[in-house]
Amino acid sequence: MNKKASIILIACSLALSACIKPYQPNVQQGNIINNSDLREIRYGMTKQEILFILGTPMVIDPFNEQRWDYFYSNRNPRKRQTDQRLITAIFDGQKLVQLAGDIDLANVQALEPSTEDRQHGGTVITEPTQKVKGLFNRLGIFKKKDKHAIRKAKEAKKKAKKEAKEEAKRKKEEEST
């Protein structure tokens, strides 16, 4: 009997240990290339201005110092995907004459904000990933209410009532005239 129980215990512990995955962080490499930064770039800017906006390039071609390559890679092991961006700045002397890359840079001004635009001062701002503690909180029972959200909802309700009253008053005045 002890032999059966120990075999079952070992099988169960092996099965449970296979369910545990170690934490795998996102791996970011290169220069963070924001769409908001790309919108600031204009042809004719100097190398110093480009350095200020995009930072030090990943590669300065030793055979052609007029070409700077900026590369960014973000690997998310949980989603098994890698996002990459490559921007190439080409200069004529000290002035920017061409900007090429993986994205359509002809319409730089129309670029939507990218996920990297949420970074500030070299620190990427992310959403909190801490799980809600407690079984009742996860199920939504006895959940703490967000006071800020409740206050905003009340203000919106008041505003809607006020606008409805004003609209009714305006219609009444129109009908009487």
Looking from the CA of 124 toward its CB, the CA atoms found within 13 Å total 14
Provide, rounded to the nearest whole percent, the portion of the chain with pLDDT above 70: 73
Q: Is 139 helix (H, G, I), strand (E, B) or coil?
A: helix
* pTM metric for this prediction: 0.51
pLDDT of residue 125: 53
Q: Which helix (H) or strand (E) holds 123?
A: strand 123-124
Q: Is 119 helix (H, G, I), strand (E, B) or coil?
A: strand
- For residues 104-126, give the mean pLDDT: 58
pLDDT of residue 157: 87
Identify which has the larger pLDDT, 44 or 150.
44
Q: What does pLDDT average to over the chain? A: 78
Cα 16 vs. chain centroid, distance in angstroms? 34
- For residues 20-28, give the mean pLDDT: 79
